[in-house]
Chains A and B, each alone.
Chain A
Amino acid sequence: MKPHIRIASGQGFWGDWLEAPARQVEGGPIDYLVMDYLAEITMSIMQKQKSRDPSLGYAKDFIPLMERLMPDLVRRGIKVIANAGGVNPSSCAGAVVEVAKQCGPRPDPTRNIKVGVVAGDDLMDDLDALIGKGILLENLDTGRPITDIRDTVLSANVYLGAWPVVEALQRGADIVVTGRVTDTGITLAPMILEFGWRDDDWDLLASGTVAGHIIECGAQCTGGNCLIGWEEIPDMVDPGYPIIEAHPDGEFYVTKHAGTGGKVTVASITEQLVYEMGDPANYITPDCVADFTTVNLTQDGRERVKVSGVGGRAATDSLKVSLSYFYGFKSVGALTYTWPDAFKKAQRADSILRGRLERLGLEYEQILTEYVGVDSTHGRLSGRPDPDIPEVQLRVGVRAREREPVERFTREIAPLILNGPPSVTGFAGGRPKVEEIVAYWPALIPKTEVRTRVEIFEA
Chain B
Amino acid sequence: MAGKKRKQRITTKKMSTRSSRQGGAATKRIQLVELAHARSGDKGDTANVGLIALEPQYYPVLKQKVTAARVARHFRGMIKGKVERFELPNLNALNFLLHGALDGGGTISLKTDAQGKVFSTALLRMEIDVPGSLKV
Contacts and interface: CB of A to CB of B under 8 A. Distances in A.
Interface of A: 40-41, 141, 225, 227-231, 265, 267, 270-281, 292-297, 299, 301-302, 327, 330, 332, 366, 368, 370, 372, 376-381, 395, 397-399, 437-440, 442
B10 A230 contact: yes
A378 B41 contact: no
B54 interface: yes
B22 interface: no
Nearest to A327: B108
A438 B107 contact: yes
A179 B43 CA distance: 21
Contacts of B42: 276
Interface residues of B, number: 45
B52 A271 contact: yes
B110 A273 contact: no
Interface of B: 1, 8-10, 12, 37-45, 48, 50, 52, 54, 74-75, 77-78, 86-93, 95, 97, 103, 106-108, 110-113, 118, 120-122, 125
A141 B112 contact: no
Given A227-B39, A271-B39, A378-B118, A294 B90 contact: yes
Contacts of B38: 227, 271
Contacts of A437: 107-108
A274 B123 CA distance: 15
B42 to A, nearest CB: 7
Nearest to B126: A381
Contacts of A368: 103, 110-111
A263 to B, nearest CB: 11
Nearest to A232: B8
Contact of B103 (A274, A293, A299, A366): A366
12 contacts: A141-B44, A228-B8, A267-B52, A271-B38, A273-B91, A274-B39, A278-B48, A293-B87, A378-B121, A378-B122, A397-B110, A439-B107
B50 A378 contact: no
